Amino acid sequence: MLLQDWLARARALGASDLHLESDTPAVVRVRGELQPLGSIMAADRMLQTAQDALGAEGWAQFLARGSADLALSLGALRCRASFYRTLRGVGIAVRLLTPSVRDLRACNLHGDFRRLLEASSGLVIISGPTGAGKSTTLAALIEEINGSRARHVITLESPLEYLFTNRHALIRQREVPTHTPSFEQGIIDALRENPDVLVIGEMRTPEVMRLTLTAAETGHLVLATMHAATCAEALQRLCLSFPAELQPSVRAQLADCLVGASCQRLEFLPAAQLRVPRCELLLPSTGARGTIRAGNFSQLANVLQSGAEEGMWSYARYQRWMEQQHDWVRSDQGVAMPDETGAPRAAPLPASPLPATTAGRTPAAGPRAPRRSADSTAADPDVVELPAEDIGPEELEELARQVSSRKP
């Protein structure tokens, strides 16, 4: 229950992450910045919280390797939690996920991202630094498929973050190591399970990258994420993970099967008071394929700059599009959290103050008729001048008597 209370407080503040550690004040990340919550976590309570959340099997894994990862569902809130040992005792890092799976529009992504789903086979890479929303973008792409196409989708994640409900698509979600011992084994198994779309939570090892390229070449649309700061860095990192003698063939393989690559960062917009992804999007034009085959990854920035007509986006061009947008979609707020009795409770929402021009005044019931100038009133004796301020019942009666006393 202690963890639920902290998550409720973090959600009420609009935090994306919660950090807890023994004998240390709790910390949340709001709009990318760390903020202390002020309360110190006692070591014995942190230990009990970790044991309760992990369960017997997870706690045994934690004792064996010093860390454990899992996904948590607390009321309507879903989280990804990492438990680990520290100098002070137990530490917990929790990523708060959006309450429901949303499509690209609801994630404030440009419509050109749908081009990544037009191919029936090939590789799509979603990259970015930690905490940039890669998993959310990946989930949005899956939901785009789910909402419009009859496809068999298999996902491999560690841990499972977003839970999907089958609509048009048949989605089967597998967690590493709960449902399969490793990503490598999961990819090998998936190739025998007749998928149309294969989703790989993260490419980390050269073997996972090799199997991912193989799956993309054998008639499957593969969506995968990896850590990188730019599209060029993501593609270069993928190729450099192989031995030097294999890299030319890997570059050729990548150039042939690439459907698209994106990289994103989360940026706070003061005017809209929310964080939205700022992206670059690389599509496999003739110039992009030739640049990848030659290994000139530094030239991909020029390809992005000149590929606007083909649907590509550089960070600078995407920034200009963001500055012109005003209809941003806000994520769900006030997520239901269970209270001490197990019943859901709503996390409080931050207050929305009135604009300074209306503070301390009661809003008018409706639009007010335009006033006429003093000059025009004086020139027309049949016009009854309205007072400059709001009028009460007695003034209205007096105006009515004045109007009724006039001749038509």
Q: Is residue 340 part of a domain?
A: no
Q: Are 246 and 187 within one domain?
A: yes
Q: What is the pLDDT of residue 317?
A: 95
Q: Are 175 and 116 within one domain?
A: yes
Q: Are 162 and 116 within one domain?
A: yes
Q: Are 393 and 315 within one domain?
A: no
Q: Are 264 and 140 within one domain?
A: yes
Q: What is the pLDDT of residue 102?
A: 82
The token pair at 41 is: 């976590």
Q: Is residue 204 part of a domain?
A: yes
Q: Is the predicted pLDDT of residue 345 greater than 80, yes or no?
A: no
Q: Are 64 and 6 within one domain?
A: yes
Cβ atoms of 215 and 222 closer than 8 Å: yes
Q: What is the pLDDT of residue 330?
A: 81
Q: Taking all residues of the chain, what is their mean pLDDT, rounded to a whole number?
A: 82
Taking only the tens place, the pLDDT of each residue in 156-165 is 998 888 889 9
User: Exposed e or buried b for every residue in 160-193, given b needs 16+ CB within 10 A?
Assistant: bbbebeeeebebebbbbeeebeebbebbeebbee
Q: What is the pLDDT of residue 357?
A: 35
Kindly report which listed range (2-16, 196-210, 279-293) carries the lowest average pLDDT score: 2-16
Q: Is residue 231 part of a domain?
A: yes
Q: Are 255 and 319 within one domain?
A: yes
**Domain of 117: which CATH number?**
3.40.50.300
Overall average pLDDT of the 58-82 stretch:
85
Q: Where does a domain end: 38, 64, 96?
A: 96
Q: Is residue 353 part of a domain?
A: no
Report how far residue 134's alpha carbon sits from residue 295's, in angstroms, rounded to the nearest whole number. 25
Cβ atoms of 93 and 34 closer than 8 Å: no
Higher pLDDT, 371 or 22: 22
CA separation (Å) from 215 to 64, 123, 196, 209?
A: 34, 9, 11, 10
Q: What is the pLDDT of residue 353?
A: 34
Q: Is the predicted pLDDT of residue 172 greater than 70, yes or no?
A: yes
Q: Are 67 and 181 within one domain?
A: no
Most distant pair of Cα atoms in the chain: their distance: 102
Q: Are 156 and 212 within one domain?
A: yes
pLDDT-derived band at 311, boundaries 50, 70, 90? very high
Q: Is the predicted pLDDT of residue 377 greater than 90, yes or no?
A: no
Q: What is the pLDDT of residue 177?
A: 85
Boundaries of domain holding 48: 2-96
Q: Is the predicted pLDDT of residue 373 greater than 60, yes or no?
A: no
Q: Is residue 32 part of a domain?
A: yes
Q: Is the predicted pLDDT of residue 344 greater than 90, yes or no?
A: no
Q: Is residue 346 part of a domain?
A: no
Strands 274-282 and 336-338: unpaired
Q: Are 308 and 164 within one domain?
A: yes
Q: Are 67 and 137 within one domain?
A: no
Kindly report which listed range (56-60, 88-92, 346-350) carries the lowest average pLDDT score: 346-350
Overall average pLDDT of the 67-78 stretch:
80
Closest CA to 9 of 37, 33, 49, 46: 37
Q: Is the predicted pLDDT of residue 349 greater than 50, yes or no?
A: no
Q: Is residue 349 part of a domain?
A: no
Taking only the tens place, the pLDDT of each residue in 268-304 is 888 888 889 999 999 999 999 999 999 999 999 999 9
Q: Where does a domain end: 41, 63, 96?
A: 96
Q: What is the pLDDT of residue 399?
A: 56
Q: What is the pLDDT of residue 375?
A: 43
**Domain of 39: which CATH number?**
3.30.450.90
Work out how many domains the chain is built from and give that number.
Answer: 3
Q: What is the pLDDT of residue 14?
A: 85
How many helices and strands in the chain, by DSSP H and E?
A: 12, 15
Q: What is the pLDDT of residue 395?
A: 57
Strands 122-128 and 221-227: parallel
pTM of the model: 0.72
Instruction: Write down the H helix ranges in 166-312.
Output: 183-190, 206-217, 231-240, 247-257, 286-294, 300-306
Segments of 90-136 assigned E as strands = 90-96, 122-128
Overall average pLDDT of the 240-246 stretch:
93
Q: Where does a domain end: 58, 73, 96?
A: 96
The token pair at 227 is: 């850590």
Q: Is residue 345 part of a domain?
A: no
Q: Is the predicted pLDDT of residue 137 greater than 90, yes or no?
A: yes
Overall average pLDDT of the 30-38 stretch:
86
pLDDT-derived band at 117, boundaries 50, 70, 90? very high
Q: Is the predicted pLDDT of residue 134 greater than 60, yes or no?
A: yes
* % of residues, the chain, pLDDT over 70: 80
pLDDT-derived band at 359, boundaries 50, 70, 90? very low
Q: What is the pLDDT of residue 368?
A: 41
Q: Is the predicted pLDDT of residue 391 greater than 80, yes or no?
A: no
List the beta bridge partners of residue 267: 276
Q: What is the pLDDT of residue 350?
A: 35
Q: Is the predicted pLDDT of residue 389 greater than 50, yes or no?
A: no
Report how far residue 403's alpha carbon sits from residue 395's, in angstroms, rounded to the nearest whole number. 12
The H-or-E segment that residue 155 falls in is strand 152-157
Q: Is the predicted pLDDT of residue 403 greater than 80, yes or no?
A: no
Q: Are 383 and 268 within one domain?
A: no
